[in-house]
Amino acid sequence: MKCAVRVLIGLMLWIASSHAAELIPIVNNGVIGARLAGLGFPDSLHKDMRSGLTNRVFIRVILNEQDKQRGMRSIEITVKYDLWDETFSVVQRRDAAVVRTQVLKTQGEVLAYLRGLDMPDLFPMVASTRSLTLHADVLLNPIQRERMEQIQKWVRENSSYVPIEGAAESSSNAMFNRIFEQYAGAGGDAAAEWRESAVSAVFSVTAP
C-alpha cells in the first residue's frame, strides 16, 4: 500500500510539474522583458472565447533583487471574438497603455499566443551585481465584466509610470495590486476563474 501511495504522489507531482508555467527573463537593448510560457488555462476558456464577451488575462510581473523589490509592471491581455467576422481581436496593455494589437483567425492561434506570451520592455536595465528574479501572478477574468469599463477608464485617467528607484507606487499598479489581493485568494465568490504563478530562474545583468 505504501508503495502505491508513493507512486500516486509521484504521479501527481509529475502532472503538476508538467503543467507548470515557465517565466523566462529576456534582456535586450538595455531593457528587461520576459516570456511567459506553458500557462495551463482551464478548458472553460475554449468555450468562453467564442461567446462574444471579452476575456481578460491579468498579469503582475515583479522584478526582485534578492529580497528587495525593484519594480512592478501590470499587463492586461484582452481577447474578444467577432461573431460577424469570426476573428479574434487580441490587445496587450502595459500599465493601461496599448503595446500590441492583432487580429487572429483561429482559436488555436489565440491559445498559442497566450501560452507563449512575450512581454518586452518591462524594466530598465538594473545596474547590480546581485542576483535578480522575476515573479509573475496571472489571473483569468477576475472582475465582473460589467464593471470592467469603469475600472479601465479609472486606470487610464490615473495611470503613471514610476521608475525602478521611484518612491511611490503608480496608480495603475496600485489598482492591479488591489485586484490581485482581492481575487487571487482561494475560495469565496470573488475568486478568479483561474490563477497561476511563475518564478524565473536567477539571472544577472552585465553592463555593456
Report domain extents, the chain: 22-199
Instruction: Identify residue 182 by its one-letter amino acid code.
Output: Q
User: Residue 47: its pLDDT value, please?
Assistant: 84
User: Considering the entire predicted model, what is its pTM?
Assistant: 0.71
**Beta carbons of 202 and 133 less than 8 angstroms apart:** yes
Residue 74 to residue 177: CA distance in whole angstroms: 9
Q: What is the pLDDT of residues 48-81, one digit of tens each?
A: 888 888 999 999 999 999 888 999 999 999 999 9
CA 85 to chain centre: 28
